[in-house]
Amino acid sequence: MNRILEDIWDARDLRMDSYPLMNSPLPTIALCCLYFYGVKFLGPRLMKDKKAWEIKNVLIGYNLVQVIFSGWILFEILMGGWAGAYSFRCEPLDRSDNAMALRMANAAWWYYFSKFTEFFDTFFFIVRKKTEHVSTLHVLHHGLMPLFAWEACRFVPGGHESFGALFNTFVHVVMYTYYFLAAFGPRFQRYLWWKRHLTKFQMFQFVSVTLHSLQLAFSNECNFPVYQSMISSGFMVLFFILFMQFYFRNYKKKTALAAKSQ
């Protein structure tokens, strides 16, 4: 077993050795476990007998920062290759020290780091006592993404599978823009008719990334680890199923019930 673990570790991208949290998966695992414990047990218990916090200005500021942060990561991923140099059909992993490859590797680390900043989405739900939003989908999505992002950043910070990070950061720009507007309150409701379409957009993201990843399963000509495409596809299928269940439960079923009541 030790030999197998050593062989896996030897396959890491050495350029990432100097980045924080990259030299072992244990800190990331620990942070994810603390997140699960905090949002499912500790947080609700601490808030049980307390009033909901009024943090409107905090939410406005947080969501604006997330829009800017996600937009910057998106820009860096584009400039690291997807704005023109990368191929959507097959993009090998460049582990050299040229400027573009290093820019993509740096963007991969910041993408990984952004998964921890998104923990605040859940923390804010808890202190506002909106526990109905702390669903299985929400907790699994936020709690598993740092693990997935760590593995990708540690072993393949760039190349074919960075398409998933590209698409995901774009989705987050749109999503946090919605949250930013929603934080202003009821007077902005007329601008937020597209809420249900966010979930559709996220499902479209999972399907697109899966199809893009699976291209490598049918071709051995691309110098990119096929196992990474399989890992990515597995996560995308899991999230698609969870989001589809959420969509039907919260939109389709309610629409059908409303039609029956008329």
- By percentage, how much of the chain surpasses pLDDT 90? 73
Q: Indicate if the pLDDT at residue 260 is higher than 60.
A: no
What pLDDT does residue 255 have?
A: 54
**252 vs 243: CA distance, rounded Å:** 13
What pLDDT does residue 233 have?
A: 94
Q: Span 152-177, mean pLDDT?
A: 96
Geometric angle at alpha carbon 135, from 168 and 204, rounded to 5°: 30
* Three-state secondary structure call for residue 161: coil
Q: Span 140-147, mean pLDDT?
A: 95
Q: Indicate if the pLDDT at residue 219 is higher than 80.
A: no
Least confident range from 9-23, 87-101, 206-220: namely 206-220
Catalytic residue among 133, 138, 141, 197: 141
**Count of Cβ atoms closer than 10 Å to residue 196 Cβ:** 14
**How many alpha carbons lie under 13 Å from residue 248 in its C-beta half-sphere?**
5
Q: Span 80-97, mean pLDDT?
A: 93
What pLDDT does residue 257 have?
A: 46
**19 vs 252: CA distance, rounded Å:** 44
Q: Which H or E run includes 53?
A: none
What pLDDT does residue 254 have?
A: 56
Residue 121 and residue 65 in contact, taking contact as beta carbons nearer than 8 Å: no
In the annotation, is 141 catalytic? yes
Q: Span 66-95, mean pLDDT?
A: 95
